[in-house]
Structure 1
Amino acid sequence: MEYKQDIEKRVEKKVEYYVKKVLKVIAMIILGIIFLLLANYVLMWLWNWLMPEIFGLSTITYWQALGIFVLAKLIFGFGFGDDKGGKKSHRKKKHGFSKKRCGSLRSDFDKWKHYDQFWKEEGETAFKAYVERIKNENHDTQ
């Protein structure tokens, strides 16, 4: 009896997991469509605001703006700031380029946040002393 309840709980958890996953996918699709429609409206609004005034072109409709949007995506690509649709980020993960790997390099940059303060307090006088020392060494050798 206990074994049967254990199986039922596992099945319930799996069903709940897949239902949540399906709902998330549906929500993402709906949000994607809303984003596309909103981006198209913004394109139409910007076109109708700028292009007739600047270049003397006529205003466009919502569907013409959608055509321009699709044409621009076909010409300039579908990636959103990532080359080849996200393959670059996949390549970074594959080869281990992570924050953990670059940790020692990042710590070096942390030291530079004190550079301006150092230069204001000691840097200029230390540099002048260095230049004088170099001049004296060169003067002695000549």
Structure 2
Amino acid sequence: MSNYFKHKFRGKSPGEIIGMIIFGAIFITGLAILFGYIIMWLWNWLMPMIFGLPTLTFWQAAGVFILSKILLGGCNFGNDSSKKRSKSKNDKACKAEFSKWKYYDDFWKEEGNKAYEAYIERLTTKEADHD
């Protein structure tokens, strides 16, 4: 992860980095406030009418949001190394599978159309045999 940050901040002045951090903090705070108000508005609009529940204040709505993130697994607390290991194995497998696609164009130029026509021929003969 440190290489990621070194790459992202290469060539940036300390003022730019501090500005990005301040902007990020303001943006995240703004999103948190927005989510709190959206949850409060939706709750106060729907829940009292549908289920007869009381209305919420902003801070109660923010608490409901945080509680739902914790209960539904939206926050990644801790560092589960087993997940990282399995993910890296899957990433390598996906990259290996994707690396084979570089041969696709050559295959299609050389054999693709013939193979496709042979496949269609097999399908039509199978359909004719069943009829």
Secondary structure of the residue aligned to 1:42 is helix
Change (3 A) 1:26 1:46: same
| Cα drift, residue 94 of structure 1 | 9.4
Map 1:4-19 onto structure 2 (within 5 A): 17-19=13-15
**Equivalent position to 2:37, from 41, 48, 60:** 41
Stretches of structure 1 that go unaligned for 5 or more consecutive residues are 1-13, 112-117, 136-142
Change (3 A) 1:97 1:45: farther
Map 1:1-142 onto structure 2 (within 5 A): 17-79=13-75, 91-92=87-88, 95-96=91-92, 102-105=98-101, 127-133=123-129
The count of aligned residue pairs is: 104
Output the amino acid matched with 1:73: K
Change (3 A) 1:71 1:133: closer
The superposition leaves residues 85-109 of structure 1 with CA deviations (integer Å, 9 ceiling, x where unpaired) of xx66xx449954666851535959x
Change (3 A) 1:21 1:75: same
Contact 2:36/2:62, CA 8 A, preserved across alignment: yes
Contact 2:48/2:55, CA 8 A, preserved across alignment: yes
RMSD between superposed Cα atoms in Å: 4.1
Change (3 A) 1:28 1:130: same
In the alignment, the residues of structure 2 paired with residue 33 and residue 55 of structure 1 have an alpha-carbon distance, to the nearest angstrom, of: 31
Which residue of 2 is the match for residue 4 of structure 1?
Answer: none
**Higher RCO, Cα 8 Å, sep 6+:** 2
| Cα drift, residue 23 of structure 1 | 1.1
Larger Rg: 1
